[in-house]
Amino acid sequence: MTTVDSYGPPIPEHISIWGELADTDHVLRHVDVPLAGHTVRTRVLQAGSGPELVLLHGTGGHLEAYARDIAGLSQDFHVTAYDMVGHGWSDLPDQPYTIDVLSDHLVSLLDVLGIDRAHLSGESLGGWVVAWVAAHHPGRVDRLVLNTPGNIANKPEVMVRMRDSTMAAVLDPSDATVRRRVEFLFHHKEMVTDELVNLRRKVYSRSGFVQAITNTLVLQDPQIRKDFAWAPSWVSRVIAPTLLLWTSHDPTGGLDEAEMLLDWLPDARLHVIDNAGHWPQWEQVGEFLDTHRSWLLEGKDPS
């Protein structure tokens, strides 16, 4: 979609990350979050008012993964997006970022922000984290959205692909290598902008980030992953009503894996967004927003 401009070429629907937020009042800051005896300086963006909604990005990501959604969601929710420990511009303590550590960081952040309960929506790794929080801290969660959580079946070949492509981009944060990593997330590769690639190149070039991504990618080691792997033993403890948000072209897991979660979760629904890859929040913004509103505000199955 474009805006008609009689004085020149049409204005693109997406201009830049700043353009998405330009007319939305928001606060971007760092807060100190206690974690395992030390403090993690954590980058947080908040906007809007209403029910609490916290957004979590994926492996190697950052809060800008939701740049195209924050303005829309902030019309109905008090939105919090943040960089997980070891990601984006949050601190990079040298320790394995296993699911329990990432989950403890989220719960501690909620405490620091004064959020007692919230809706949680996580993409990819973020979906794994919010599901773990819902299973182990049920009193902190209202409703869940698991957005392309990926590799529910714990397939070794998917772990290898995720580990190798991510590590390659961090070890060589050139335009070509990082662009390939970002394009992996998209069904429509043409939607990958120079701005998005360069933003991730900047993150990957941070001092200490090679060790940080090594600490993140421990989750792609089957021996470490087995303690946190998707399994009915803990997934069945998620009592929060859960929306599984899948896509037609997710490279990390098909609908057969969504069916596994439907069997394990006590209260879950499935909605499939067509014509999108691993980032429906960027490729199909309108449907992404509509499904969140209907599921989180009205408790309606968006399908």
Give the CATH fold of the 12-154+231-297 domain.
Rossmann fold (3.40.50)
pLDDT value, residue 218: 95
Other C-beta atoms lying within 10 Å of the C-beta of residue 260: 17
**Exposed e or buried b per residue across 233-244, where buried means at least 16 C-beta atoms within 10 angstroms of its C-beta:** ebbebbebbbbb
| CA atoms of 87 and 85, how far apart (whole Å) | 5
| CA atoms of 270 and 145, how far apart (whole Å) | 10
Distances (CA, A) of 213 to 41, 164, 194, 269: 17, 11, 22, 33
Q: What is the mean pLDDT of residues 37-59?
A: 97
Q: How far is CA 88 from the centre of its chain?
A: 12
Q: What is the mean pLDDT of residues 225-241?
A: 96
Mean pLDDT (the chain, rounded): 95
Alpha helices in the chain (DSSP H): 17-21, 70-73, 99-113, 125-136, 156-171, 175-183, 194-204, 209-216, 222-225, 232-235, 255-264, 280-283, 285-292
For the record, the structure tokens of 238 come out as 């998620």
pLDDT tens-digit readout, 122-144 = 999 999 999 999 999 999 999 99
pLDDT tens-digit readout, 165-187 = 999 999 999 999 999 999 999 99
CB 178 within 8 A of CB 200: yes
pLDDT value, residue 61: 96
pLDDT tens-digit readout, 252-269 = 989 999 999 999 999 999
Predicted confidence (pLDDT) at residue 2 exceeds the cutoff of 60? no
Distances (CA, A) of 114 to 52, 235, 266: 11, 27, 29
pLDDT value, residue 135: 98
Q: What is the largest CA-CA distance in the chain?
A: 61
Token pair 């394990």 is found at 264
